[in-house]
């Protein structure tokens, strides 16, 4: 790209910007490259099969290319830029028409030109890699809606483990700037599960799994496990809304108070949206509350049974969801079962002790109820979460 300067009697080249992206010559008609310049420091170079975004600031080498997914697709037209003066740090947008046919917009919200520079440092390379992965996870999962490909370029550098974990953490905590605003919590959780799945699929499709160390693969898997467990727990909790508090909701509210997030209109929903990373702490609190009721001399056998059943349900829902996720996705993450460099979040000593306590407490309570009720214990299966002998035989 040439920057032309003019004087009273001459025209001279004032600057030159080289693009690193290379594209083959396209013999089809109307395949001449196009250039769109807005009022800022961003230029859009439109090739037959790709759009390249580049900075024209003198001290910046920023460049990002987005090719089309299909070789048979091509760009047919583009919108005209606005040349009217605008506020600082405006969003540069270009609308494009493809032969698919589809119309979509590419938007860039650049900071000051000199802030785009920081090239060459490891942090810059990793941030760029993270941005590319985020683009693929949030905008590249639906081919019908977005014809652009987000494949990684061969020259793209950076720490893959750091970038992938950062993207996964953003999904887990709903903190990514690209996270869509979804008010319905069930749909929002399902969307995050979808993004976590898209992340590991993108890594596999680009042949990067072998470059991702085991500790990073496990962290990605553990984040996805927490989301799977959160979905199961929210479905259960949502079914109970309006029927009073539960041992799970009380444990969540206790956790939110401890981390200073207990204020606001609905800390329960806030937990499922942004604090699922603390799910292990919540399950431990569920057990502590069940233990307190079981050891209370004031609680009746019926109260102990009810609280223990609720606690069992919450813990088993979460851990069964984790087990299903591991069984269904272990090959996707390429996990090495013979090497466990760190402790899974669901296998912390406190949680393992909790499982043991739940088993022993349930066994003890059932024995106590049999002594109290005798044969009638099989006539009230709903209270104990069991089917009767007659129903099992039938």
What pLDDT is attached to residue 358?
Answer: 92
Any domain includes 72: yes
Any domain includes 142: no
Among the listed ranges 48-57, 176-185, 200-209, which one has the minimum average pLDDT value? 48-57
Between these two residues, 102 and 340, which has the higher pLDDT value?
Answer: 102
Are residues 224 and 196 in contact, defined by beta-carbon separation less than 8 angstroms? yes
What pLDDT is attached to residue 252?
Answer: 96
Residue 364 CA: distances (Å) to CA of 120, 315, 331, 359: 64, 18, 39, 9
Three-class DSSP labels, the chain:
CEEEEECCCCEEEEEECCCCCCCCCCCCCCCCCEEEECCCCEEEEECCCEEEEEECCCCCCCEEEEEECCCCCCEEEECCCCCCCCCCCCCEEEEEEECCCEEEEEEECCCCHHHHCCCCCHHHHHHHHHHHHHHHHHHCCCCCCCCECCCCCCCCCCCHHHHHHHHHHHHHCCCCCCCCCCCCHHHHHHHHHHHHHHHHHHHHHCCCHHHCCHHHHHHHHHHHHHHHHHHHHHHHHHHHCCCCCCHHHHHHHHHHHHCCCCCCCCHHHHHHHHCHHHHHHHHHHHHHHHHHHHHCCCCCHHHHHHHHHHHHHHHHHHHHHHHHHHHHHHHHHCCCCCCCCCCCHHHCHHHHHHHHHHHHHHHHHHHHHHHHHHHHHHHCHHHHCCCCHHHHHC
pLDDT in tens, 92-134: 888 888 887 778 888 887 654 445 445 667 888 898 899 999 9
Among the listed ranges 215-219, 229-233, 349-353, which one has the minimum average pLDDT value? 349-353
Among the listed ranges 22-26, 43-47, 52-56, 152-156, which one has the minimum average pLDDT value? 152-156
Mean pLDDT is highest, among 5-9, 53-57, 120-124, 378-382, for 53-57
pLDDT in tens, 124-146: 889 889 999 999 999 988 777 78
Over pLDDT 70: what percentage of the chain? 82
The confidence band for 388, taking pLDDT boundaries of 50, 70 and 90, is very low
Any domain includes 167: no
What pLDDT is attached to residue 313?
Answer: 94
- Taken in order 275, 278, 280, 282, is the CA torsion positive or negative? negative
Any domain includes 376: no
Any domain includes 259: no
What pLDDT is attached to residue 48?
Answer: 83
The confidence band for 290, taking pLDDT boundaries of 50, 70 and 90, is very high
Any domain includes 50: yes
What pLDDT is attached to residue 37?
Answer: 82
Stretch 233-258: mean pLDDT:
89
Over pLDDT 90: what percentage of the chain? 39
What pLDDT is attached to residue 7?
Answer: 62
What pLDDT is attached to residue 321?
Answer: 96
Between these two residues, 376 and 349, which has the higher pLDDT value?
Answer: 349
What pLDDT is attached to residue 6?
Answer: 59
pLDDT(380) > 60: no
Any domain includes 89: yes
Are residues 388 and 381 in contact, defined by beta-carbon separation less than 8 angstroms? yes
Domain count for the chain: 1
The confidence band for 339, taking pLDDT boundaries of 50, 70 and 90, is low
Any domain includes 245: no
The confidence band for 389, taking pLDDT boundaries of 50, 70 and 90, is very low
Between these two residues, 257 and 70, which has the higher pLDDT value?
Answer: 257
pLDDT in tens, 343-375: 688 888 888 888 899 999 988 888 877 776 665
* Mean pLDDT value across the chain: 83
pLDDT(20) > 90: no
What pLDDT is attached to residue 330?
Answer: 85
What pLDDT is attached to residue 261?
Answer: 87
Full domain range(s) for residue 18:
1-118
Whether the model pTM is above 0.75: yes
């Amino acid at each position: 790209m040439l920057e032309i300067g003019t004087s009273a009697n001459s025209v001279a080249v004032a600057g030159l910007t080289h693009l690193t992206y290379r594209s083959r010559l396209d013999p089809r008609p109307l395949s001449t490259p196009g250039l769109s310049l807005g009022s800022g420091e961003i230029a859009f170079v439109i090739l037959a099969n790709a759009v390249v975004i580049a900075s024209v600031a003198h001290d910046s080498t920023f460049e990002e290319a987005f090719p089309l997914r299909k070789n048979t697709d091509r760009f047919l037209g583009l919108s005209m830029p606005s040349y009217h003066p605008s506020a600082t740090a405006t969003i540069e947008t270009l609308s494009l028409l493809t032969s698919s046919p589809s119309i979509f917009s590419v938007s860039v919200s650049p900071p000051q030109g000199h802030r785009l520079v920081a090239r060459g440092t490891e942090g810059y390379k990793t941030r760029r890699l993270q941005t590319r992965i985020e683009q693929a996870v949030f905008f590249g999962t639906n081919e019908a809606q977005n014809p652009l490909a987000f494949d990684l370029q061969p020259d793209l550098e950076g720490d893959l483990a750091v970038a992938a974990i950062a993207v996964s953490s953003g999904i887990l905590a709903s903190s990514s700037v690209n996270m869509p605003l979804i008010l319905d919590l069930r749909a929002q959780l399902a969307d995050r599960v979808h993004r976590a799945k898209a992340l590991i699929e993108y890594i596999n499709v680009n042949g990067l799994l072998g470059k991702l160390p085991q500790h990073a693969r496990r962290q990605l898997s553990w984040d996805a496990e927490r989301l799977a467990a959160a979905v199961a727990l929210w479905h259960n909790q949502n079914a109970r809304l309006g029927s009073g508090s539960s041992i799970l909701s009380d444990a969540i509210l206790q956790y939110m108070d401890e981390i200073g997030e207990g204020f606001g209109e609905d800390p329960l929903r806030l937990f499922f949206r942004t604090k699922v990373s603390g799910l292990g702490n919540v399950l431990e609190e569920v057990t502590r509350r069940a233990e307190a009721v079981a050891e209370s001399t004031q609680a009746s056998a019926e109260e102990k049974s009810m609280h223990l059943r609720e606690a069992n349900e919450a813990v088993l829902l979460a851990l069964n969801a984790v087990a299903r996720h591991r069984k269904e996705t272990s090959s996707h993450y390429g996990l090495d079962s013979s090497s466990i460099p760190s402790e899974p979040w669901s296998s912390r000593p406190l949680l393992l002790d909790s499982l043991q306590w739940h088993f022993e407490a349930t066994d003890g309570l059932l024995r106590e109820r049999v002594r109290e009720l005798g044969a009638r214990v099989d006539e009230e299966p709903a209270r104990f979460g069991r089917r009767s002998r007659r129903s099992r035989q039938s």
